[in-house]
Structure 1
Amino acid sequence: MNAADWINAWTAANQALLGAEFGVLKARLTTVDATSVPEADGVARAEGDEHVEGDAGAEGDGRVRADAHAALQAAREAMPARAPIDTLTDAFGLSLFERSLVLLVAGAEMDAELADLCGHAVGQPQHPWATFGLALNLLPDPHWSALARTQPLRRWRLIEVDSDSALVTARLRLDERVLHYLAGMNLMDARLQPLLRFVPPPALVAESHEALAQAMAAQLMGRGDDSDTEMASGAPTKPGGSAGLGGSTGPGGSTGPDGSTGPGGSTGPDGSTGSGESTGSSGSAGSSASTAGAAARPGPTPLNLLHGDDATGREDVAARCAYLLGLRLHALDAQGLPGSLAELADVAVLWEREAALGAGALFIACEEDAATGPGQGAGASAAGTDAPVAARAKAFAEGVDGLIFMGARTPMALRRDARFHLVDRPSAAEQRALWTAALGPAAAGREAEIEAVAGQFRLSARAIASAAEASAEALAAAASPPRRPVAGVP
């Protein structure tokens, strides 16, 4: 079975599993007593909605439930890899009741029959949707704290509550991002797409930058020596006033606006790699279980602040470090951050949720970093950071959790634990090595030219790679035979 066939098989198995989960909920809904469920407007149970009572009815209900659970067990055994609902449960530390509530709300939005049963269960068939009151009477191990703003379902915006009604009778909706995830399509939140760009690991990197990336990765994995790393202490200011994800991310589920993770809008649970899409790239909704228990892990991961005169080099070091950790890197330009603290908190929550679903690490680009694209030379501008932009970048960096890198020309004080790393442009010796590697066979016989360029200019690895590519194209064009003129053709 090739990769595409495996992905299709996983997607079909996940759809079957969701259907079986909904089947269990339908079996429960057929035996709910509507008189015990809180109602929005006091409407009595609809005529004809009475449920079968007595021994015969109870026996029949028992068979229906037993059959539904048997179908669910068979669907679970048929899954070739982890299901998105299980990854979601672990990533955000959901209780059994919270997990069941997510499935109930998803079912009401994805399965018309289940939605209709929800309305009839509360005696209001004109309201075919899930409510918290229904869930409390329907699902196992119910607890009132599930819909508290500080608990996972609302803290991470998994479920939205309509504000027009009381909490127990209000319509519950599943966030569109989460709904797609459960269905097997790991599409990045549309609200983040305009702010983020995917940063692939560099094809060409200076030796000192590679050494720094490896040292940072070793520190983050708990194997490094912090003796040569300057630390800034202080707890971060949390947007939303709640504990973050503790820096746990999954290696390879979701991608950003420029990184595709698989064909056809969905992939298997390992999140196949790749890049090149412009928006809405897809990945695996059944991402690796490395995110398990993320929401419950204590303490934020220290921020890594990369400073120095190599703007693109700072981004490359972060991308290389993320790659060594099995993660993807997305860059957020500080100029694009919203101005209000409330909006900054919203972006922080959305990113932390995205990271838990597999997006990986975040690079906050300050100063000239934000204006320097992958194809531009290093050290474009040395202009100072605009004060309002710097303030927004600091507020966001101090509030967002997860694996965060920050790039700025000069260090800045932060109210959170941070590690500071100097990233300057490559030395002359490193530039010679970069030119030789970038030019490949074309470098033969050009040692004097390379020596002169390396001694005269201080270029980044990206600038050298771009120049070498342009040189190779020019040489190829010069080596190709001239086109013969054809009569009548200009």
Structure 2
Amino acid sequence: MIFYRNADWRRENQLYLMQELARVRQALMQAEEAGEYTGTGEDEDNPLTTSPRLPLFASSPLSALEQLCQTFKLSGFERDILLLCAGVELDASFAPLCAASLGDAQKNYPTFSLALAVLEDAYWEALAPTASLRRSRLIEIGAGNTLTSSPLRIDEQILHYLTGTYHLNERLVAMGAAVAKSEELVPSHWQLVEQMVSIWYLTPESEPLLPLLQLCGNDAASLLAIASTACDKLNFIPYTLPVELLPTDIGILNLVKCLWEREFSLNNLALLLECDRLEMLDGKEEKAISQFLESIQAPVILLSSDRRRQKHRPLITFDVTSPTSEEQRLLWQKALSDFAPNLNGHVDTLVSHFNLSDRGIRAACLKARSMENEDKGTRGQGGQGGQLIQNSSPLLLWDICRIQARPHLDELAQRFDNEPQKLH
């Protein structure tokens, strides 16, 4: 649901929103005229009250308001409650009109009782926590003695959305991170992408939840690249979140889940949940994660080194291995061709001794290139480094590859050392 943010759309969207606000404003003015409060009367020169009603966006994308109503299936009454709350933020005349309609100058804010009294097609069920406005957190209910008399406020993100400006919810910004455009994948990893896309694409619409997808492997960069590419193929926007940042408090966890679901509905965000240290989670954290995954109504891909099981919701796992020997050979040849083509004869030796990912190979070549540039600088100062690099390039690449592969060995050794402690 990404906006077309060109100038024509913005202008039409603004006019349409102001027109709809004027319609709700008129309802408030009529309520004020029927009451005893003598506030602001109707201004015949105000374009908000005198402009003819504009047609829907017939030849262009829907307005933000119409898109929001379709996305969350808002009724006409729910739509007008949202406009009533937006009006207080966007039009200075709304607050005194609310106070006038409620008969109290101090109550210059919308309430459910006001909405039930002045808006058309009012019905009580729209106030329920399971109804769209509250379930998707489109509005917030302030402190008050009763539900109907408590102040109502539109969610800030939704307010900006109506005006044509999209931004990620601030709570989620503090928890996760956007994913950069992934680099080109090797064919074996592309096969995984196609399988993942097919599973989600072919899931029947009658299914309430998409299956959870899980990528397992030791190369976190490859997992992320595969997951983000699969999201791109489906026009989902990938966003990463470390699993340890999920709150364990049930109330806050449900709020985070609701916000992620809303982000998916608003702008097709998919969640890439990084689960690198599942074995370090305590019972409370594990319970929170399970509950989150069982019920979230949004696309989720788990990225982990170890397999995770889910009790009820379908979880489909893909094992991500390093590129095949032939793919590694081609990656080495491509990476070396533009600065050290004479080393291509040593590629078979590197492939036979080191099992590196595509990013590992690119990183090794980048480091070799940087050392070559440093050597050229030394040579320009009268040193002998250039000749030394040229003569020792195969050995240099060997050492770089050994260092690239070492973290996996160190991690394996650490797990082995920690294993006896788990037995006690």
Report the TM-score, using the length of structure 2 for normalisation: 0.79
Q: Which residue is 1:338 aligned to?
A: 247
Matched, 1:14 2:13: yes
Q: In structure 2, what is the equivalent of residue 29 of structure 1? A: 28
1:136-175 correspondence to structure 2 within 5 Å: 136-175=116-155
Residues 79 and 304 of structure 1: is their aligned pair in 2 closer, same or farther, counting only changes over 3 Å? same
Q: What amino acid maps onto 2:359 in structure 1?
A: R
Counterparts of 2:357 and 2:192, CA distance in 1: 15
The aligned residue for residue 350 of structure 1 is 259
SS of the residue corresponding to residue 273 of structure 2 reads strand
Q: Is 1:442 matched up with 2:336?
A: no
**Cα RMSD (Å):** 3.2
Corresponding position of 2:388: none
2:69 counterpart residue number: 89
* Unmatched 5+ stretches in structure 2: 383-424
For residues 182 and 66 of structure 1, do their structure 2 counterparts lie closer, same or farther at Cα, with a shift above 3 Å needed?
Answer: closer
Residues 271 and 299 of structure 2 are in contact (CA less than 8 Å); yes or no, is this contact kept in structure 1? yes
Partner of 1:283: none
Match of 1:48 among 33, 38, 54: 38
Pick closer, same or farther for the CA change 1:153–1:408 going to 2, 3 Å: same
Structure 1 position 130 matched with structure 2 position 39? no
Whole-Å Cα distance in 2 between the matches of residues 435 and 69 of structure 1?
Answer: 70
Q: Which is bigger in relative contact order (C-alpha 8 A, separation at least 6)? A: 1
> What is the identity percentage for the equivalent residue pairs of Structure 1 and Structure 2?
28
For residues 136 and 334 of structure 1, the distance between their equivalents in structure 2, rounded to whole angstroms, comes to 42
Hey, what's the Cα distance between the residues in 1 that align with 2:247 and 2:97?
42
CA contact under 8 A between 1:345 and 1:399: conserved in structure 2? no
- Report whether the alignment pairs 1:107 with 2:87: yes
TM-score under structure 1 normalisation? Answer: 0.69
Q: Would the alpha carbon gap of residues 168 and 434 (structure 1) be closer, same or farther in structure 2, given more than 3 Å must change?
A: same
Please say if residues 161 and 170 of structure 1, whose CA atoms lie closer than 8 Å, have aligned partners that are also in contact: yes
Gap change, CA 1:10 and 1:319, over 3 Å in 2: same
Query: How far did residue 158 of structure 1 move?
Result: 0.7
Q: CA deviation at 1:10?
A: 2.9
- Verify the 8 A CA contact 2:197 2:234 in the aligned structure 1: yes
Structure holding more helix per residue: 2
Residue 180 of structure 1, CA deviation: 1.4
State the match for 2:397 in structure 1.
none
Say whether the 8 Å CA contact 1:301–1:402 is kept in structure 2. yes
Match 1:386 to one of 266, 281, 297:
281
CA contact (8 A) 1:314 1:407 kept: yes
Aligned to 2:229: 320
**SS of residue in 1 equivalent to 2:359:** helix
Cα offset for 1:66? 12
Shift in alpha-carbon separation, 1:219–1:366, aligned structure 2, 3 A: same
What residue is the counterpart of 2:295 in the other structure?
399
Amino acid at match of 1:414: Q
1:345-391 Cα offsets, whole Å, 9 max, x none, are 221111111111114211111025xxxxxxxxxxxxxx944345544
Report Cα offsets for 1:188-223 as digits up to 9, x if no partner: 111111211112342132221111101211221119
CA contact (8 A) 1:204 1:438 kept: no
The equivalent of 2:52 in structure 1 is 71
Matched letter for residue 445 of structure 1: N
Contact 1:199 1:329 in 2 (8 A): yes
Moved more, 5-14 or 117-126: 5-14
SS in 2 for 1:101: helix
The one of 190, 201, 206 aligned to 1:221? 201
Change (3 A) 1:411 1:67: closer
